[in-house]
Each structure stands twice: as C-alpha cells, then as structure tokens.
C-alpha cells in the first residue's frame, strides 16, 4: 500500500519545471506583444528608426502603430506651434549698439519630420531658430539708423521676419508669428534722443509763439485800420454838420422881400458858399 501512494520527487520537479517554463513563455509573449505596438500622441508625428537601417522613409500619423520588437523604435516629434524667445545684439547703420528681444512662433513641417529629425534632431531652437534670429536681426538692423529702428519699427519687423523665413525654410521649419518684444540702446544714445526731443519741443513752441505774435500783430493792425477809418468818416460827418450850423448862424432871420405869397426857401449850401 505504501508503494501505491508513494510520490516520486523527480516527477514533482518535472511538473514544476514545465509550469515555470509556461509562465516564462507567457510573460515573454506578453512583453513581445506590448513592445510590438506604440502610440503616437496628438500633435506629434512618429519617426521610425531601425537598428539595421536607421531612419526609415516613413512618417507615422497620430494613433497606434506596429513595429518590430527590439529592432524598430518609434520616435515622437512635436509638430505643434512652439514659441522661442531669443536675445540678440547688433549694430545699427550709424554704428549704435542695439539689444533686442525677439519672440518667434514656429512649427516643424509635418510632412518632413523624418528628414528634420535625421538632420537636426529635436533641438530646433538651439540649433536653427536662435542662430537664424540673430543673423536676421543683424542683417536688418544694419540697414537702419538707431532712430529709424524706433520710428520705422513695423518696417524693421517685416524685414527681420522675411530674412528669418528665408533662413529657416531649408530646414523645413515654418514661421507662424514674429514679434519684436524690445529694442534697447546705450545710455548715451537714449540721452541724445531725449535732448533732441526736448530741442524739437522747444523749437515747436517757439514757432507757435512766433505764429501767435504774428497773428496778434495782424489783428492789432486790422483794428487800428478800422479805428482810423471810423475816425475819418466821423470827422467828415462832423465837419459837414458844423458848416451847416455856421451857415444858419450867419442868417439874420429876415426873409427875402419878394412879390407873391410863396414862402422863400433858404439854400443852406449856397449860404455856405457865400461864407467861403
């Protein structure tokens, strides 16, 4: 009876080994399946890299994609709009030092991400955007005087943007927006600008004062002419009245002796002429 219920150790070991092997194989298959698929997130494109062939000529859109486990790797590349802010120093046309801060919005061409990754990698700002901004600023700033950089800022911005677009286009980078955040100059130049503005304001005030004086003088002259004309008319009127009064005063009050019943008429103007 003891032989019937006897369990041999070697049989237990064999069963345990088989179970372990099954578990290992199952885990291996699970790992294999999990590594055979990868998801490309929203706003990204996938670049396929093979250990035996490098970057493949294929671009993966958003979603789940199959790859050869342990051989191929899907590298996500951000194609959303990104912002870069770059500081630059340049010389103006009149040799004034100008410090500027430039803000750029850009994105990678989604149809060229494999080429961009292969040639540049993922450090677009440091390798392409910053150098391109600095060169564009230097090229544009040299065309304007320091004062024009202030007074013609919009035109300067368009020139820099056009230069920047031209410089990054060969790298399949697209410029979406461009802004000059700040232009700053040396202290001596700022003082010179303030002095010039003060002088211009004083000159403008002097011109306005001179115009005001001229207008006031013309107004006084016009009033004087009007007063003189009024006095002349008044004198002529007064003289005529005085002459008429004097003629009346010289009349002795007697009426001329005439035959007839009509009342004689005194000609005052004639009397005045007689007096003269």
| Mean model confidence pLDDT for the chain | 79
pLDDT in tens, 86-109: 998 888 888 888 888 999 999 999
- Name which residue leads in pLDDT, 201 or 40: 40
pLDDT in tens, 184-220: 877 777 666 666 766 667 777 777 777 778 887 788 8
pLDDT in tens, 65-77: 888 888 889 999 9
Q: What is the pLDDT of residue 274?
A: 47
pLDDT > 80? residue 118? yes
pLDDT > 70? residue 119? yes
Q: Which domains are delineated in the chain?
A: 9-78 (no CATH), 82-190 (3.30.479.30)
CA pseudo-torsion sign 63, 64, 68, 69: positive
- Single pTM value for the model: 0.59
- Nearest of 104, 81, 85, 270 to residue 178 by alpha carbon: 104
pLDDT classification of 275: cutoffs 50, 70, 90: very low
pLDDT classification of 172: cutoffs 50, 70, 90: very high
């Amino acid at each position: 009876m003891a032989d019937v219920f006897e369990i041999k150790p070697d049989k237990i070991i064999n069963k345990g080994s088989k179970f372990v092997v099954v578990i290992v194989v199952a885990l291996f298959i699970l790992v294999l399946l999990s590594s055979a698929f990868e998801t490309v997130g929203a706003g990204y494109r996938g670049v396929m890299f093979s250990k035996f062939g490098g970057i493949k000529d294929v671009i993966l859109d958003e979603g789940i994609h199959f790859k050869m486990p342990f051989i191929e790797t899907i590298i996500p590349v951000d194609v959303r709009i990104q912002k870069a802010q770059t500081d630059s120093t340049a010389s103006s046309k009149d040799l004034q030092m100008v410090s500027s801060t430039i803000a750029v919005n850009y994105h990678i061409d989604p149809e060229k991400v494999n080429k961009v990754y292969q040639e540049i990698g993922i450090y677009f700002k440091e390798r392409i955007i910053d150098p391109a901004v600095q060169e564009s600023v230097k090229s544009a700033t040299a065309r304007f005087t320091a004062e024009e950089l202030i007074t013609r800022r919009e035109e300067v911005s368009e020139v820099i943007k056009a230069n920047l677009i031209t410089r990054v286009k060969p790298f399949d980078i697209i410029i979406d927006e461009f802004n000059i955040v700040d232009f700053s100059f040396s202290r001596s130049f700022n003082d010179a600008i303030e002095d010039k503005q003060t002088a211009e304001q004083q000159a403008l005030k002097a011109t306005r004062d001179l115009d005001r004086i001229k207008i006031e003088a013309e107004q006084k002259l016009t009033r004087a002419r009007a007063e003189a004309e009024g006095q002349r008319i008044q004198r002529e009127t007064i003289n005529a009245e005085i002459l008429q009064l004097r003629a009346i005063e010289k009349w002795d009050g007697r009426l001329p002796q005439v035959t007839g019943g009509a009342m004689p008429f005194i000609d005052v103007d004639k009397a005045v002429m007689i007096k003269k």
